[in-house]
Amino acid sequence: MDTTSPDHRRAAAPVIALALATTMLFGAAPAHADPTPGDKDRVDTQLAQTGAELEGATARAQQAVAAYTQANALLPAAQNALADAHGKVAAAQVVARQAERDAAAAEAAEQAATKAYDDAAAKVDQQRQHVSDFVSQSYKGSGLLAINSILESGSPSEFAIRIGYLDQIAAGETQALNALTSARMEAKVRENAAKAASDRAGQARDQAQQALGAAQAAEAAATQAAADVQNLINQRQQAMDVANSERSAVLASYNQLKAESDQIAAALRAAAEKQRQQQSGGSGGGGGGGGQPVVKPPSSGGAFFIMPTAGWKSSDFGYRFDPYYKVWQLHAGVDIAAPMGQSIYAAADGRVVRAGWNGGYGNYTCISHGDYQGKDLSTCYGHQSAILVSVGQYVHRGQVIGRVGSTGASTGSHLHFEVRRDGAPENPLPWLPGCFC
């Protein structure tokens, strides 16, 4: 049965998932600093490890250290992005300056080509005027006058002189026409060159504009990358400030958890002693009596206990060092990550000796399985969302005794499973079948 009171249920509300708590406490991480898939896996792993190390800390300390861990994990990638952005800015500026030089040279070439065309066009006009003069003179009869003057020559020598004069006129007309044709050809070549130079200048101006835009975009990206780095540094510092302000509360919480574990050990020893006295007094034994049987190893040579729930090992047994508050703390069991509400099974036959709220352990159940090598052997189940047994009840191996939850000092849905001998916790893994890591 569920033995938690309404007050206990309220107190047992699970700590908000670390990543969500980080967002609530410090705001979303900078958009440009979002991790890649590889970075995300690394960050998630570090956050999970941080959650395990700080399970006994205050909720505010857990949030702060998670924020610090996240910022620390993302900072190298953000710093690399900033360095890369600075490199792109430098490269873009080099390209932009070269493009500006190319554009200036192209414009100068365009101006020179245009002037050359203008000069060639002026020559065409000049030669056209020259030819026009010959045409005008012919139209006015100067040609007929020249022929008449030849026919009227009085002597052979005068005739030869006049013929030579006509030859010079003809040669002059031919020269003028050839010069006009040549000037037109030169003007066409210059015109084509000027147009090509103009096209090149236009392309160079476009490329210079694009290069300038790329340089400006790179500078904007570098500015954002620098802001991302600074935001992460600020987040890290803010998180450490909060974590430091929680130091006293966290250390008190750790001491409280140790005291709770010691109280559990003492209570289990007292219960075992009472049962031994009852058994020695002849008050009965076996499954339904007041005494507990002696635990014997499985005849098949298998594990002593069955898996108490299906899942994967999210935290090991043993002392672990809190790198943020510089203290060692004992994790008295193994954590088995499993969905909220999933069934929890009795690891072996035994009698329920504890069932109820137990501080940082949340909803907590302990089952005494009897004497093993002269010591009482018990299993305990923490952070349950519901307890389905009561003190004094005898349960059988595989019987559902509760539901997976996240009550007490917990950072997510899981079962905290302990093996205790005479109340002292020891590593549960050798008692369980195979590996469930």
Q: How high is the pLDDT of residue 146?
A: 60
213: number of Cβ within 10 Å: 12
Q: How high is the pLDDT of residue 315?
A: 86
What CA–CA distance (Å, rounded) separates 91 from 222? Answer: 13
Average pLDDT, the chain: 77
> pLDDT by residue (tens digit) across 190-202?
788 878 888 888 8
Where residue 322 falls (left for φ over 0; alpha for ψ -120 to 50; beta otherwise) is: beta
Element of type H or E holding 394: strand 394-395
Is the pLDDT assigned to residue 32 strictly greater than 50? no
- 53, 320 contact by CB (below 8 A): yes
Give the bridge partners for 268, in sequence order. Answer: none
- 386, 362 contact by CB (below 8 A): no
**1-5, 174-178, 362-366 — most confident range:** 362-366
* Residue located via tokens 């034994």: 285
What CA–CA distance (Å, rounded) separates 269 from 150? Answer: 154
How far CA 53 is from CA of 19, 48, 127, 335, in Å, comes to 15, 9, 98, 12
86-95, 141-150, 173-182, 345-354: the lowest-pLDDT one: 141-150
- Confidence class for position 65, pLDDT limits 50, 70, 90: confident
Instruction: Give the start-to-end residue ranges of the domains of the chain.
Output: 15-245, 249-431
> pLDDT by residue (tens digit) across 33-43?
455 556 666 65
- Confidence class for position 5, pLDDT limits 50, 70, 90: very low
What CA–CA distance (Å, rounded) separates 371 from 362? Answer: 27
User: Which residues, in sequence order, are CB contacts of 19 under 8 Å at separation 6+?
Assistant: 47, 66, 70
Q: How high is the pLDDT of residue 363?
A: 97
In the 8-state DSSP scheme, what is residue 32? Answer: G
Is the pLDDT assigned to residue 340 strictly greater than 90? yes
> pLDDT by residue (tens digit) across 383-424?
999 999 999 999 999 999 999 999 988 878 999 999 999 999
At residue 413's C-alpha, the angle toward residues 412 and 419, to 5°, is 105
What CA–CA distance (Å, rounded) separates 314 from 322? Answer: 17
Is the pLDDT assigned to residue 82 strictly greater than 90? no
- 406, 368 contact by CB (below 8 A): no
Is the pLDDT assigned to residue 297 strictly greater than 60? yes
- 191, 117 contact by CB (below 8 A): yes
Is the pLDDT assigned to residue 329 strictly greater than 80? yes
Q: What is the mean pLDDT of residues 95-102?
A: 84
What CA–CA distance (Å, rounded) separates 123 from 126? Answer: 5
- Beta-strand pair 375-384/414-421: antiparallel
Q: How high is the pLDDT of residue 137?
A: 65
Q: What is the dihedral of CA 149, 151, 156, 160, to 10 degrees?
A: 60
Q: What is the mean pLDDT of residues 90-104?
A: 84
- Beta-strand pair 394-395/350-357: antiparallel
- Confidence class for position 349, pLDDT limits 50, 70, 90: very high
Chosen CATH of 249-431 out of 3.10.580.10, 1.10.3720.10, 2.70.70.10, 3.40.50.150: 2.70.70.10
SS3 at position 140:
coil
Compare 423 and 250 and report the one with higher pLDDT.
423
**135-139, 243-247, 401-405 — most confident range:** 401-405
- Confidence class for position 9, pLDDT limits 50, 70, 90: very low
Q: What is the mean pLDDT of residues 2-16?
A: 38
- Confidence class for position 203, pLDDT limits 50, 70, 90: confident
Is the pLDDT assigned to residue 243 strictly greater than 70? yes
What CA–CA distance (Å, rounded) separates 187 from 399? Answer: 105
The burial class, CB within 10 Å (0-12 / 13-18 / 19+), for 191 is: middle
Q: How high is the pLDDT of residue 358?
A: 92
What CA–CA distance (Å, rounded) separates 120 from 130? Answer: 15
> pLDDT by residue (tens digit) across 306-323?
999 999 898 889 888 877
